[in-house]
C-alpha cells in the first residue's frame, strides 16, 4: 500500500514526547513490511545541520520548499521548509501555532497525491482530514493525546480555506472556537487512539477532555491500537548509551548499569537499595505531584531506596523535584532537562520504573522499562493498564505493579509492594524476566493498521 503519514514530530529529527517515537517507528515498521511509506513533517531549526543528507524534493507548485530523506528502503521523509513558521526554537507554544500548523496541514494535502492512505496524527495534522474530505483517499486519524486539541479563536478558521459550512458544531466548531483535533475526528474515515483502554476512556466525561460527545458520535469508527516499541532503538544489547550489555538470557550486566547510573548521578553505590526511575514531561498528565507526595512519604517513613528522575516542564514541579533532591542527596537525584542518553541509562539502571499518570493514551516508557528489566509501577489507566500485568496475577505471568487511585497514598502502597518484591530476589527476578521477554514490537501493531487500512483504502489515482 502507498501510505502517507503526517506528524508534527518524528524521531530522530524532532521530538517532545512519545508522538515522535510512535510515528517514526510505525513508518519504519510499515516500510519494512513492504508498504511504500512517506512521512511528512516540518523542517524545524537545526534539522538540516544534524542531517546533512537532505535533498531538495524538486517538485514545483508546492507552497513551500520541501526536502527529502530516504533513510531506508520504502521510506521517504519529507520536510516542509518554511522558515517563517518553523525556523525557531521550540516546537509548540508559539502565539501563531494556528497559522503554523494550518500551513503544515495544507502542505501535507498537496503532497498526498497518488497515495491510498493518508494517516494524520494529533491536532497539528487534524486539518488534513477535512481538507481531504472530497478526495478519493482513505483517511485515518490517530489521537495520541486528547488533552491537546489545537483550539483557536474563530477568526483563525478563515485560514483553513474550508467552506463556511465547516464552522459548524458537527464539524470544526467547538464552543465558539475552532478545534483542529475535532476536525480530524469528525472527517476521518477511521479514528484510532494508541491503546484499547484509552479508546474506551475517551467516551467518558472523566477522560474525554470535553470531546466525549464527539468521540461517542464516532464510536463505530473509533478503535485502540497499542503502540509498539522500536527495539532497534530501545535495546539493551547494542546501545552506545549504556555501560554494559545485558538481556533476558544474560541479565548480569544490569547491575553494572545500576552502578554506572548511581555514579553518574552522585548517588551512593548501593546494590541492596532498590532504585526507582522516572522520565517525564512535567505536566499534570504525568502525576508528578503524586510522585512527589509518595516519595516524601516513603522518605519520611525511613524507607531504604533511591530515586533517579529526569524531566522538565512545569516550573513549580521542577523546583519541587530539585528541592527534594537537595534535601535527600543520598537517596534522590533529579536532572532537570532533556537528555536522550540519560533516559536510556535510567531505564537500564533502575530496578523499578514509576509512572503514576492521571491519564496515559499509551505510554512508551513503561514499554521500554519492561524490555530494560526495570519493573514498571503504573496506574491502571490507558495504555499502562493494557501493557502491564499486575503482581496480583502471580509471578508466573506478572510484569509489574499496578495501582488504581490517583493519589500519593495509593502510589505509596504500590511503592511499598515494590520494596517487598525487591526483598525477595527470586520473585523479583521472575517478574523482571517476564517483562524482558514480553514482545511489544511493531509487527503486531502494523498488522492491526493493515486491517484498518484495508477497510478504507481507495484505489490510487
Q: How many residues sit in the footprint of ligand ADP (CB under 6 A)?
A: 18
Q: Determine the Cα–Cα distance for residues 202 and 218; give it in Å rounded to an integer.
A: 11
Contact partner, 411, from ligand GLC, ligand ADP, none, Cβ < 5-8 Å per class: none
From the list ligand ADP, ligand GLC, none, which binds 297 (C-beta under 5 to 8 Å, kind-based)?
none
For residues 22 and 188, which CB has a smaller minimum distance to ligand GLC in the complex? 22
Nearer to ligand ADP, 66 or 384 (CB): 384
If the CB atoms of residues 363 and 412 are measured against ligand GLC, the closer one turns out to be: 363
Indicate which of ligand ADP, ligand GLC, none lies near residue 194 (CB less than 5 to 8 Å, by partner kind).
Answer: ligand GLC
Q: Which does 184 bind (CB under 5 to 8 A by kind): ligand ADP, ligand GLC, none?
A: none
According to the binding rule CB under 6 A, does residue 186 interact with ligand ADP? no
When the beta carbons of 91 and 267 are compared against ligand GLC, the nearer one is 91
User: Which one, of 321, 252, 247, lies nearest residue 288 by Cα?
Assistant: 321
Quick one: what does residue 458 bind among ligand ADP, ligand GLC, none, with the CB cut-off 5 to 8 Å set by partner type? none
Interface of this chain with ligand ADP, residues 19 to 58, rule: CB under 6 A: 19, 21
Site for ligand ADP in 337-396 (CB under 6 A): 338-340, 343, 362-365
Cα dist. 12→51, 70, 185, 274, 309 in Å? 10, 13, 27, 32, 23
Binds 172, which of ligand GLC, ligand ADP, none (CB < 5 to 8 A, cut-off by type)? none
Q: Residues 276 to 295: which contact ligand ADP by CB under 6 A?
A: 279-281
Whole-number minimum distance, CB 15 to ligand GLC, in Å? Answer: 10
Q: Which of residues 235-264 bind ligand ADP (CB under 6 A)?
A: none
17 is a contact residue toward ligand ADP (CB under 6 A): yes
Q: Which residues bind ligand GLC (CB under 6 A)?
A: 17-19, 22, 144-145, 194, 227, 360-364, 383
Asked whether position 309 contacts ligand ADP by CB under 6 A, the answer is no
Cβ proximity to ligand GLC, 156 vs 182, nearer residue: 182
Pattern 310-339, binding to ligand ADP, x per CB under 6 A? Answer: xxx-------------------------xx
CB of 243 to ligand ADP, least distance (A): 18
Pick what 208 binds: ligand ADP, ligand GLC, none; C-beta below 5 to 8 Å, kind-dependent.
none
Backbone φ, ψ for residue 52 (5° rounding)? -65, -10
253 vs 45: CA distance, rounded Å: 38
331 touches, from ligand ADP, ligand GLC, none (C-beta below 5 to 8 Å by class): none
Question: What's the min distance (Å) between Cβ of 286 and ligand GLC?
Answer: 9
Nearer to ligand ADP, 136 or 315 (CB): 315
Q: What secondary structure, in 3-state letters, does the chain show?
A: CEEEEECCCCCCCCCCCHHHHHHHHHHHHHHHCCCEEEEEEECCCCHHHHCCCCEECCCCCCCCEEEEEEEECCEEEEEEECHHHHCCCCCCCCCCHHHHHHHHHHHHHHHCCCCCEEEEECHHHCCHHHHCCCCCCEEEEEECCCCCCCEECHHHHHHHCCCHHHCCCCCCEECCEEEHHHHHHHHCCEEEECCHHHHHHCCCCCCCCCCHHHHHHCHHHEEECCCCECCCCCCCCCCCCCCCCCCCCCHHHHHHHHHHHHHHHCCCCCCCCCEEEEEEEECHHHCHHHHHHHHHHHHHCCCCCEEEEEEEECHHHHHHHHHHHHHCCCCEEEEECCCHHHHHHHHHHCCEEEECCCCCCCCCHHHHHHHCCCEEEEECCHHHHHHCCEHHHCCCCCCEEEECCCCHHHHHHHHHHHHHHHCCHHHHHHHHHHHHHCCCEHHHHHHHHHHHHHHHCCCCC
Q: Which is nearer to ligand ADP, 14 or 187 (CB)?
A: 14
Contact residues for ligand ADP, defined by CB under 6 A? 17-19, 21, 279-281, 310-312, 338-340, 343, 362-365
Amino acid at each position: 500500500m502507498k501510505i502517507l503519514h503526517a506528524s508534527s514530530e518524528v524521531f530522530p529529527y524532532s521530538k517532545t514526547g512519545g508522538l515522535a517515537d510512535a510515528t517514526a517507528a510505525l513508518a519504519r515498521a510499515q516500510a519494512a513490511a513492504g508498504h511504500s511509506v512517506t512521512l511528512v513533517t516540518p523542517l524545524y531549526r537545526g534539522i538540516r545541520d544534524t542531517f546533512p543528507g537532505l535533498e531538495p524534493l524538486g517538485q514545483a507548485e508546492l507552497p513551500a520548499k520541501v526536502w527529502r530523506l530516504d533513510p531506508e528502503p520504502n521510506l521517504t521523509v519529507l520536510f516542509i521548509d518554511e522558515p517563517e513558521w518553523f525556523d525557531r526554537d521550540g516546537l509548540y507554544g508559539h502565539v501563531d501555532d494556528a497559522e503554523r500548523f494550518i500551513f503544515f496541514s495544507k502542505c501535507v494535502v498537496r503532497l498526498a497525491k497518488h497515495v491510498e492512505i493518508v494517516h494524520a496524527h494529533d491536532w497539528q495534522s487534524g486539518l488534513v482530514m477535512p481538507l481531504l474530505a472530497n478526495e478519493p483517499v482513505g483517511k485515518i486519524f490517530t489521537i495520541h493525546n486528547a488533552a491537546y486539541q489545537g483550539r483557536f479563536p474563530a477568526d483563525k478558521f478563515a485560514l483553513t480555506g474550508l467552506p463556511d459550512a465547516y464552522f459548524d458544531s458537527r464539524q470544526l466548531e467547538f464552543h465558539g472556537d475552532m478545534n483542529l483535533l475535532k476536525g480530524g475526528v469528525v472527517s476521518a474515515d477511521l479514528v484510532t487512539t494508541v491503546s484499547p483502554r484509552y479508546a474506551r476512556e475517551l467516551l467518558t466525561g472523566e477522560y474525554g477532555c470535553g470531546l466525549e460527545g464527539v468521540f461517542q458520535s464516532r464510536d463505530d469508527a473509533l478503535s485502540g491500537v497499542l503502540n509498539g516499541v522500536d527495539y532497534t532503538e530501545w535495546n539493551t544489547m547494542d546501545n552506545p548509551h549504556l555501560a554494559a550489555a545485558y538481556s533476558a538470557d544474560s541479565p548480569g550486566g544490569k547491575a553494572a548499569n545500576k552502578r554506572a547510573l548511581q555514579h553518574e548521578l552522585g548517588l551512593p553505590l548501593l546494590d541492596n537499595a532498590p532504585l526507582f526511575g522516572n522520565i517525564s514531561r512535567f505536566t499534570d498528565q504525568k502525576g508528578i505531584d503524586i510522585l512527589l507526595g509518595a516519595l516524601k512519604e516513603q522518605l519520611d517513613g525511613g524507607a531504604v531506596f533511591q530515586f533517579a528522575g529526569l524531566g522538565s516542564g512545569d516550573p513549580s514541579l521542577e523546583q519541587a523535584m530539585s528541592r527534594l533532591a537537595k534535601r535527600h542527596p543520598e537517596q534522590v537525584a533529579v536532572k532537570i532537562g532533556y537528555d536522550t542518553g540519560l533516559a536510556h541509562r535510567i531505564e537500564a539502571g533502575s530496578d523499578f520504573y514509576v509512572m503514576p499518570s492521571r491519564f496515559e493514551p499509551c505510554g512508551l516508557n513503561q514499554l521500554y522499562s519492561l524490555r530494560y528489566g526495570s519493573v514498571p509501577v503504573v496506574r491502571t489507566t490507558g495504555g499502562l493498564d493494557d501493557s502491564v500485568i499486575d503482581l496480583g496475577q502471580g509471578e508466573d505471568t506478572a510484569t509489574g505493579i499496578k495501582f488504581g487511585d490517583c493519589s500519593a497514598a495509593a502510589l505509596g502502597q504500590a511503592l511499598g509492594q515494590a520494596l517487598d518484591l525487591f526483598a525477595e530476589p527470586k520473585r523479583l527476578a521472575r517478574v523482571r524476566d517476564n517483562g524482558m521477554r514480553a514482545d511489544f514490537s511493531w509487527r503486531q501493531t502494523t498488522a492491526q493498521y493493515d486491517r484498518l487500512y484495508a477497510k478504507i483504502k481507495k484505489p490510487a489515482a
